[in-house]
Amino acid sequence: MAEVGIALGVLPLVITGAQHYIKAETAFCQYRHFKSELSYLATRLKVQRAIFKTASKKLISLCVGQEDARLMLEDPEHPSWTDPAIDRAFSMQLQDSCDAFADSLQTISSRLTDLENECQKFKGVLHDSQNDGPGDARSRARLIAKKIKFVFRDSRTQVLFNSVRDLTEDFCALIAQVDPSCVYERPSILPAGANRKEVVEIGSIKTAAENLYEALGAACTKHTEHQVHFSLQPSYISSSPEIRFHIGFRQLLVRCVGGDADPIWLTIESRVSGSLMSVPKNEERAINLKKSLKRIKMSPSPPPGTTPKKRQKILSQLVSRSLADQNHCIGLLGDLSNRTHYVYLDSRGQCLTKTTSPSPSSSLKDILDMARHSKVPLNSIPQLERIRLAKRLATALLLFHETSWLSSTWCSENVFLYRVSDSVPQQPFKLDDPYVNVAVRGPSSPTFQTSDVSSQSFVSNPFLFRLGVMLLEIELETPLRSLQQPVDVDANHDDKHTEFFTAKRVSRTSLRPLGNRYHKIVRKCLDCDFGQGDDLNDVALQEAIYRDVVDELGRLEEKLHRFKLDD
């Protein structure tokens, strides 16, 4: 029988078994009112069908994902049932259990067919009772019940039902033995190079970002460096040459307004020189930011009689008044290369709610640590928000890798998120707009050689490995360090290898709160397993990351949003 199962394909046998279950249950339900034993068996058969369907969905989802598995079981004509590529991969995934699955499914269908045939005997009783002559309905019902009882006593109905139940239990036991980590990777429906346009746009943004850093550094002539918040979520439209970066400066106000002042957020619009889409209407206000910064730093001493508190109050009023006017260009960074950078006040400062927290932001590590200690062990942070954050980080990797804005040592400890509200304890942070703290150094500032702790030989690509670690932490809502065990410590090396061993061990566990598809993305990033080498400057690898990580996370985000699984 196993040879027949392989010839027909294992996957179609699943839907065949599900259809036979429906037919057998329907047949029994027709006679449940005539005999209590039949009513009992009809109820039990309904339960067994539900068990078989749930088990089948679990089995198929290992191959095509939960959503496609649900759609397939609801539609016997779904094209995936007859897709030879999926069926072949499905059989390969079952490995040595393939024959056993084929035998089990065919035997279940055979026994259910026998049950349907047994029900034909009850149908014959009803047909014969119609020729028994006149009589009231109650008498005819009693007569039919007696005949069905007699037929049921001599039938194999109970034996066949017990066989179906045992076979279904065996089917569930086989599924429990399948290794969930050996998931089938459906071939991409996108041809090679389909993401070339997006990758080209990403390259343009990356170049503009590096030019912006150089322009800011050139403006820093008084101080050696400035600490800025750099949003990892730029704004851009593919048909426009305008790219908007969002940067927060805290130092501009710390000296004059106070150490607890919120940063001033600026939107810096980078445009291709000579191809400007528009020019600010009030160009006279577009003063050179370089000179503006110098005037702020080198401002003359205040006139006698002006107290520090009064100066602080005046400056606070001026800043508040300026924040109300956010659509005007307030500065222009010097033209470097072929980019010009226009500076606007950013509206996000107005959107961030004042909180009672001593810090307006927290690192991703601290947020995950809070989730770990919350009353809800899993899904403390909504699934949709976690997947959206993962997509933002994956996009940031492509946009800013190997630029001055993003270090190869980036991690959840140096990725920050702003607190937006204290009134919503379940979701107090703005998870869709992560930022990093970056030191913008002037041309005369000394350069520092930073040791890359992730440069060990075990890691194929530090940027991707760090992304994989953060995606794993987001999935489990726990910092990786808190999952460290003694087995992760390498006795022959220092602590720099511990993170690698911890990530690899944890990624192999069966706990997957965000599903197999998300977990597959995590493992791909940890291992740089995209089939295109490990050089992030290679366009082929960038396309693979965009397709297998960014696009895939986008599809997961869309499905969660559409089906509202986060309610």
- pLDDT for the residue 203: 84
DSSP character at residue 262:
P
Given a cut of 60, whether residue 504 has pLDDT beyond it is yes
Map tokens 């539900």 to a residue. Answer: 50
Map tokens 């030879």 to a residue. Answer: 84
pLDDT single digits (tens) 221-258: 766 777 889 999 888 765 567 788 989 876 544 444 44
- pLDDT for the residue 249: 78
Q: Which of 417, 406, 410 is nearest to 368 (CA)?
A: 417
Give start-end residues of each CATH 1.10.510 domain in the chain.
368-430+453-563
- pLDDT for the residue 12: 86
DSSP character at residue 330:
E
Q: Which residues contact 4 (CB under 8 A, 6 or more apart)?
A: 102, 106
The 3-class secondary structure across 506-541, one letter per residue, is HHCCCCCCCHHHHHHHHHHHHHCCCCCCCCCCCHHH
Instruction: Compute the average pLDDT of residues 400-426.
Output: 81
Give the count of alpha carbons within 13 A of 13, CB side only.
27
Instruction: Indicate yes or no: pTM above 0.85.
Output: no
Instruction: Report the CATH number of the 368-430+453-563 domain.
Output: 1.10.510
The percentage of the chain sitting over the pLDDT mark of 90, rounded to a whole number, equals 15
Given a cut of 80, whether residue 91 has pLDDT beyond it is no
* 292 — pLDDT class (breaks 50, 70, 90): very low
Q: How many helices (H) and strands (E) does the chain have?
A: 20, 9
Instruction: Compute the average pLDDT of residues 413-439.
Output: 78
- pLDDT for the residue 460: 84
- Give CA–CA dist 555/515, Å, rounded: 13
Average pLDDT, the chain: 73
- Give CA–CA dist 215/209, Å, rounded: 10
Range with lowest mean pLDDT among 25-34, 128-137, 268-277: 128-137
Q: For residue 30, count CB atoms less than 10 angstroms from its CB and return exposed for 0-12, middle for 13-18, buried for 19 or more.
A: middle
Range with lowest mean pLDDT among 80-89, 244-253, 323-332: 323-332
Per mean pLDDT, which of 8-17, 251-260, 371-380, 471-480 is the most reliable?
471-480
* 434 — pLDDT class (breaks 50, 70, 90): very high
For 196-201, the CB contacts below 8 A with 24+ separation are 196/539, 196/543, 197/238, 198/546, 199/398, 199/539, 199/542, 199/543, 199/546, 201/236, 201/238
- pLDDT for the residue 5: 34
- Give CA–CA dist 372/165, Å, rounded: 41
Range with lowest mean pLDDT among 12-16, 159-163, 475-479: 159-163
- Give CA–CA dist 325/346, Å, rounded: 10
* 412 — pLDDT class (breaks 50, 70, 90): very high
- Give CA–CA dist 486/493, Å, rounded: 14
Which residues is 343 bridged to in the sheet? Answer: 268, 331
Instruction: Compute the average pLDDT of residues 314-329.
Output: 55
Range with lowest mean pLDDT among 313-322, 465-474, 537-546: 313-322
- Give CA–CA dist 102/382, Å, rounded: 39
Q: Which of 457, 478, 558, 467 is nearest to 521 (CA)?
A: 467
Higher pLDDT pick, 317 / 190 = 317
Q: Which residues contact 251 (CB under 8 A, 6 or more apart)?
A: 226, 227
- Give CA–CA dist 564/567, Å, rounded: 6
* Tokens of residue 27, six digits: 């047949």
- pLDDT for the residue 238: 59
- Give CA–CA dist 145/140, Å, rounded: 9
Residue type present at position 172 = C
Q: Which of 331, 354, 202, 207 is nearest to 267 (CA)?
A: 331
CA angle 81, 85, 86 (to 5 degrees): 45
- Give CA–CA dist 399/95, Å, rounded: 41
